[in-house]
Amino acid sequence: MKLYKFLRFGKKARRKKTTSNRRRLTKRKFLLAASLAVLLLAAMYIIYLDFTVRTRFEGRRFALPARVYARPLELYPGLKLKPAELVAELELLGYREAAASREPGSYRWRNQLVELVSRPFTYGDGAQEATSLRVTFGSDRVKALQRRADNSAIELLRLDPALIGGIYPGNNEDRVLVRRDEVPQLLVDALIAVEDVRFYAHRGIDPRGIARALVMTVSGKSVQGGSTLTQQLVKNFFLSAERTVRRKLNEMIMALLLEVHYSKEEILETYLNEVYLGQDGNRAIHGFGLASSFFFDKPLMQIDLAEAALLVGMLKGPAYYSPRRHPQRAQERRNLVLGEMAEAGFITDQQLLAGRITPLGVVERPPRGTSPYPAFLSLVHRQLRRDYRDEDLRSEGLQVFTTLDPWVQRSAESALGKQLQRLEQGRGIAADSLQGALLVTDTQNGEVQALVGGRDPRFEGFNRALDAHRPIGSLIKPVVFLTALQQPQSYTLATLLDDSPLLLQQPGTDDWQPQNYDKEFHGQVPLRMALARSYNVSTARLGLQLGVPSVLDNLRRLGVDHELPGYAASLLGADAFSPLEVAQIYQTLAGGGFRTPLRAIREVLTFDGLPLQRYPLAVEQVVDAPSSYLLVTALQDVVRQGTAQGLHRYLPAELGIAGKTGTTDDFRDSWFAGFSGDRLGVVWVGRDDNQPAGLTGASGAMTVWAEMMAGLALEPLILPVPDGIERVWIDPQSGLRSVAGCPDAVELPFVAGSAPAESAPCGPGFKGNSLKNWFERIFR
């Protein structure tokens, strides 16, 4: 029995042992399979990370914004320019005054002589080297250009254009790419000494460096971090800024993979272009290439030891160690970097001491953001979008050369801001309630030289110059009178117009009864004086006789490209236009009847400086020369003896300015459009809430226009007389012929054969039996 029990127990034990072994074997197999699966997944994940690293890094395509430049100032003998104006341009470009100007970007001014060294720059027609020259002035003009080396004459020299902004990626990153051989070794030494002293020894991660950084950080004796340069690049280039274990593991794996595929120099070059180094308004400064010009106004290769140490020191906290906002912190951090360089053997003790006592050398400049001229840049961007995809504008590094004249822009911004404040103070208007917008163009080619979208020219929001559509009031009247003058057998500058009360009754609409500004009627008035004094009633009668559709057809020919309702009130400016649209209308008038589309771009180059697209001058004659000549003559009378006479307080009469004031109902909008021989300006003043501003065109917008133009060198408006024009003396009261010496007689231009045949009592060939006809003409 005992033996039986023993044998039975042994059999059970063997079965349990076998079962346990089987379970243990199954568990091992499961663990092995699970391990293999984990390894397979890990391998697949590493392959995915490897693909990500190689795909993104091999292209190393940074999103480069389009860089937008102002027009370059071209210097040549005979140019109308004062020494102070040239110096102002140089200072705008960031040139520095020096006792002996020898470096590019420096100048020296002494009375009628300016010596300077221009910067090199690549234009669409080739590279221009740095040039050391002497500019001699006389009678407010450039008298001579000479090379300082041998006194040889220079016929033409272009200064480098001012960078006025960019069209940036969504995060507004900006950078200037540099190659490894364009980076001074002292900057690389500083970077390695502080951020990764074993950079050339490790393979992406550095356990010794991590341990050393941990110990030294606890002791407070080091400025080093634990991550290698490769890890920092991976974090910035591939990953987010989240602080998680998973992100850190990804960073370490990708750093190892990066080092497997690419050389140290390739990794270092990408790092130098990627890092964030500060903020300029809403523009993010990335890479040492841009940081060098942003902080020191010099190319990266020209920075010295102390400047290199400062830039590297800022990596730890660009805002906290900003040399402009926190110079003491920045200096202390720079000196720590210099100390690390000395400890690592990159610099001598003598260099260390010299570097520590060197001033920071940071160039002071106001924050610029994406552009100091956001309103103008908005126009540039809109015109570029006709030809380019928006993503290309924000990533391909295009170079856009525009028409902006910084000197004109500065005058425009100053005039608008100062004059709006004066108007508010002088007329008891609530402070900051007035707004305004203006444009300045070149009358010869339609280039937009300046554009201001509001009284705060740095505001990047609503752009009134482009997007504020307001009734233009009397600015429409020249179009009405042009339509009449295109019929010379019926209308001339001497034609008498009826300015008696008018009541227009049409089915389905309210009665229309226009009034003059002075609430009076003036009987028979010469056509040119009806325009000069901006009489509403006579203009309305004339427009109705011509037909509203005829006037609107002319408006379209002048450059308006949107539909117009065509009401009778349109004849007095009830329709709304933007200042840009008004500028296009008056550009055609100032251009002698030739329509030239307004343009803000001259040409576009690729990132490498290759011509991509030019924007040539496009001209189409839409108004015959005689009609255009007669109208502009009448617009000059607006300034000589009409609603714009007040311009003479600001500008000499010899300039022969032509212009027109505009005022809308309840004084809600104040307009002025005027032009000299070379510049056209359009100004709007009013309120954003459309409440009455209490200003006429003459008391508001015209004063801004005058203030602006008084600060510019204007060419007089001298009209070339077209073929088929004759001049005849006219009696203004009767509109009949007169002679020089007769009371109030004026000499007016006429299309040949259109001048009146009859004579006034003082006129040539007057016969007594014509007296009855003369009185009838006056009193009819």
Report, as residue numbers or ranges, the catalytic residues: 195, 474
CB 324 within 8 A of CB 362: yes
- Buried/exposed 42-80: b ≥16 CB within 10 Å, e otherwise: eeeeeeebbeebeeebeeeebbbbbbbbbbbbebeeebe
Token pair 């391998």: residue: 43
For residue 138, CA distances in Å to 289, 449, 518, 693 come to 41, 26, 49, 45
Length of the chain in residues, anyone? 780
Q: How many angstroms separate the CA atoms of 346 and 373, rounded?
A: 44
User: Residue 707 in contact with residue 683, Cβ under 8 Å?
Assistant: no
Calpha distance 573→684 (Å, rounded): 14
Give the C-alpha distances (Å, rounded to integers) separating 86 from 83, 91, 346. Answer: 5, 9, 44
Residue type, 92: L
Structure tokens at 526: 């010469």
CA distances from 279 to 172, 323, 367 (A): 10, 12, 9
Q: Compute and round to an integer the Cα radius of gyration of the chain.
A: 38
**What letters, b where the CB count within 10 A reaches 16 and e where it falls short, cover 507-521?**
eeeeebebebeeeeb
Q: Is 59 helix (H, G, I), strand (E, B) or coil?
A: helix
User: How far, CA to CA in Å, does 85 sit from each of 12, 112, 145, 652, 753?
Assistant: 110, 12, 16, 21, 49
Give the β-pairing of 141-147 and 132-138.
antiparallel
Tell the residue number behind the tokens 């010299």, with chain if given: 354
What single-letter DSSP state applies at residue 746? E
Closest C-alpha among 480, 462, 443 to residue 584:
443
356 token code pair: 């520590």
Tokens for 35, please give them: 């391990």
| CA 456 – CA 667 distance, rounded (Å) | 23
The two three-digit tokens of residue 750, written as one number: 């006429």
Q: What is the four-CA torsion angle of 287, 291, 297, 298, rounded to 10 degrees?
A: -40
Is there a contact between 750 and 493 (Cβ–Cβ < 8 Å)? yes
Strands 669-675 and 611-614: unpaired
475: DSSP letter: G
**Gap between the Cα atoms of 376 and 600, Å rounded:** 8
| Three-state secondary structure readout of 623-674 | CCHHHHHHHHHHHHHHHHHCCCHHHHHCCCHHHCCEEEEEECHHHCEEEEEE
Amino acid at 540: A
Distance CA 599, CA 137 (A): 32
List 114's β-bridge partners, or say none: 109, 135
**Nearest CA to 57 among 287, 275, 263?**
263
